[in-house]
């Protein structure tokens, strides 16, 4: 399965970044039993933060790309938590997405679709999940999107 996941990523022209290190006094993930909780991953691509308010500074499409970047970081954390063995990933259980936006912006679900669609494109049915998509007045370091995830693993 790990090779299948890597092949799907490659076919999409994507690759997993290095799993980001925590920026404060927390751990990037917690594995308890068959449940893996991954801390919120902020929007960054190629080492550069994707910053701004979606709907003001960034378009919905740019926000969607930021959410995809968060999803890649989530998968990188899953891979790190499982010792590099993505075959142990059984499914994505839930994603919680936060979108840096103003009170009158209502397209948070469209933005977080970037992460949801990526999970399904890469993992197939194992990528289908429950989710929340909410607005935030501000996010750490001014990033556009932050997403946390819960995963079932073997």
CATH number at residue 148: 3.30.1330.40
Is 34 domain-assigned? yes
Query: Lowest mean pLDDT: which of 5-9, 11-15, 103-107?
Result: 5-9
Question: Is the C-alpha dihedral spanning 117, 119, 123, 128 positive or negative?
Answer: negative
pLDDT tens column, 133-151: 999 999 999 999 999 999 9
Provide the number of structural domains found in the chain. Answer: 1
Is 118 domain-assigned? no
Joined together, the tokens standing for residue 142 give: 């001014």
Is 99 domain-assigned? yes
For residue 54, with 0-12 CB atoms within 10 Å meaning exposed, 13-18 middle and 19 or more buried, which class applies? buried
Tell me what percent of the chain is helix, strand and coil, each rounded to the nearest 5.
40, 30, 30
Residue 1 scores a pLDDT above 50: no
Task: Identify the pLDDT of residue 133.
Answer: 98
Task: Identify the pLDDT of residue 6.
Answer: 85
Total-model pTM: 0.96
Are 53 and 62 a contacting pair, CB within 8 Å? Answer: no
Task: Identify the pLDDT of residue 2.
Answer: 56
């Amino acid at each position: 399965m790990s090779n299948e996941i890597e092949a799907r990523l490659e076919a999409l022209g994507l690759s997993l970044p290095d799993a980001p290190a925590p920026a404060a006094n927390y751990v990037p993930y917690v594995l308890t039993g068959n449940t893996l909780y991954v801390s919120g991953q902020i929007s960054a691509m190629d080492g550069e933060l994707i910053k701004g308010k979606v709907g003001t500074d960034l378009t919905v499409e740019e926000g969607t790309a930021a959410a995809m970047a968060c999803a890649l970081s989530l998968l990188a954390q899953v891979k790190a938590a499982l010792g590099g063995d993505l075959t142990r990933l059984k499914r994505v259980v839930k994603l919680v997405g936060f979108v840096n936006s103003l009170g009158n912006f209502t397209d948070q679900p469209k933005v977080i679709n970037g992460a949801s669609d990526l999970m399904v494109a890469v993992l197939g049915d194992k990528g289908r999940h429950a989710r929340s998509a909410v607005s935030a007045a501000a996010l750490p370091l001014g990033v556009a999107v932050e997403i946390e995830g819960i995963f079932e693993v073997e």
